[in-house]
């Protein structure tokens, strides 16, 4: 089982330990046909990009570098900031990206105090009791579903449920409605097989990504391969398996800017 591309990779611009040249070399070594470099949105301290202009600058650097046949896209992994699904990237930045990922991350600056309490504080209380956990799951699910509905450009929901437990069924149904891909994240080995099985039963489409922060892990997609084989997932439901074409086949923008 081979993969065509890896669409979730971090560079020096956020918390990755690799520049675009190292990423390109690593992807070529792995035999990938295309990749997306998707640094964290700006409103999460330490791991986020310093400002949104970094995405444009990365695009310019990639354009002037030797890609030797590898197709390289510029994307972002935006942070979901509140129960209304607001992201930490403005419309103009999103319009300039080739691929948009969104996910929930600890320490994200919330869109309001109320969202901070209901989302991030509630989530940190989830270990205290079953009631607190239930409330966290309801709120986290609401935020993910809202992000899916509020952002028509969204291509991929990253590591669904990681750090922020969700109702997988509800999120999976929203992904189907709005044609958002349910990510199998190999770096975090998340979601677990039982959640992947549930999302598969409901009928999502998957993308298998590395979430690589180091050259060694670019294109490391073994966890997804194991999940597909073990759970008997129909290859037609995994958009980035070899033979399915690349981002231009399934990306919302399908805007090929770099060859
Ligand atoms: Zn993430
Ligand atoms: Zn990531």
Q: What is the pLDDT along the chain (259 residues), one digit of tens a residue?
A: 999 999 999 999 999 999 999 999 999 999 999 999 999 999 999 899 999 999 999 999 998 988 889 999 999 999 999 999 999 999 999 999 999 999 999 999 999 999 999 999 999 998 889 999 999 999 999 999 999 999 999 999 999 999 999 999 999 999 999 999 999 999 999 999 999 999 999 999 999 999 999 999 999 999 999 999 999 999 999 999 998 889 999 999 864 444 3
Nearest ligand to the CA atom of 212: 2
Closest ligand to 213 CA? 2
CB contact at 8 A, 176 and 201: no
Ligand 1: centre distance to CA 105 (Å): 6
What separation in Å is there between the alpha carbon of 179 and the centre of ligand 2?
Answer: 20
The domains of the chain are located at 5-250
Q: How far is the centre of ligand 2, averaged over its atoms, from the C-alpha of 124 (Å)?
A: 21
Contact 75, 38 (CB under 8 A): yes
259 CA from centroid of ligand 2 (Å): 24
pTM over 0.85: yes
- Alpha carbon of 194 to ligand 1 centroid (Å): 20
C-alpha 39 to ligand 1 mean position (Å): 9
CATH 3.40.50.740 fits 5-250, yes or no: no
Q: How far is the CA of 174 from the centre of ligand 1 (A)?
A: 19
User: Who's near 176: CB < 8 A, 6+ residues apart?
Assistant: 202, 203, 204, 205
pLDDT of residue 235: 96
Helix then strand then coil, in percent of the chain rounded to 5, is 40, 15, 45
Cα of 54 vs centre of ligand 1, distance in Å, is 18
Handedness of CA 42, 92, 100, 137 (dihedral sign): positive
* Ligand 2 center–CA 66 separation, angstroms: 25
Encode 122-184 in three state secondary structure: HHHCCCCCHHHHHHHHHHHHHHHHHHHHHCCCCCEECCCCCCCCCCHHHHHHHHHHHCCEEEE
User: Rounded to the nearest whole angstrom, what is the distance from the C-alpha of residue 32 to the centroid of ligand 2?
Assistant: 19
How high is the pLDDT of residue 244? 86
* Distance in angstroms between the alpha carbons of the first and the last residue of the chain: 25
Contact partners, residue 29, CB within 8 Å, separation at least 6: none
- CA of 113 relative to ligand 1 center, distance in Å: 23
| pLDDT number for residue 68 | 84
Residue 186: DSSP 8-state: T
Task: Measure 2 CA to ligand 1 centroid, in angstroms.
Answer: 23
Q: What is the pLDDT of residue 245?
A: 85
């Amino acid at each position: 089982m081979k993969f065509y591309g890896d669409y979730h990779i971090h560079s020096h611009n956020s918390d990755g330990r690799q520049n675009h040249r190292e990423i390109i070399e690593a992807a070529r070594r792995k035999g990938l046909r295309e990749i997306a470099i998707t640094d964290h949105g700006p409103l999460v301290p330490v791991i986020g990009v310093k400002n949104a202009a970094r995405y444009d600058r990365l695009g310019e650097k990639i354009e002037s570098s030797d890609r030797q046949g590898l197709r390289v896209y510029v994307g972002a992994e935006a942070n979901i900031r509140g129960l209304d699904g607001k992201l930490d990237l403005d419309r103009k930045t999103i319009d300039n990206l080739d691929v948009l990922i969104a996910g929930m991350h600890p320490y994200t600056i919330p869109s309001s105090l109320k969202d901070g309490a209901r989302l991030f504080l509630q989530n940190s209380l989830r270990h205290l009791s079953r009631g607190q956990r239930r409330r966290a799951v309801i709120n986290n699910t609401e935020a993910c579903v809202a992000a899916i509905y509020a952002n028509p450009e969204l291509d991929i929901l990253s590591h669904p449920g990681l750090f922020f437990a969700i109702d997988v069924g509800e999120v999976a149904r929203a992904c189907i409605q709005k044609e958002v891909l349910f990510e199998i994240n190999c770096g975090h080995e998340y979601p677990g097989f039982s959640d992947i099985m549930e999302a598969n039963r409901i009928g999502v489409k998957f993308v298998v990504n590395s979430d690589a922060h180091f050259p060694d892990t670019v294109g490391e997609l073994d966890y997804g391969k194991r999940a597909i084989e073990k759970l008997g997932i129909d290859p037609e439901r995994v958009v980035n398996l070899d033979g399915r074409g690349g981002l231009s086949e399934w990306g919302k923008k399908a805007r090929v800017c770099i060859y």
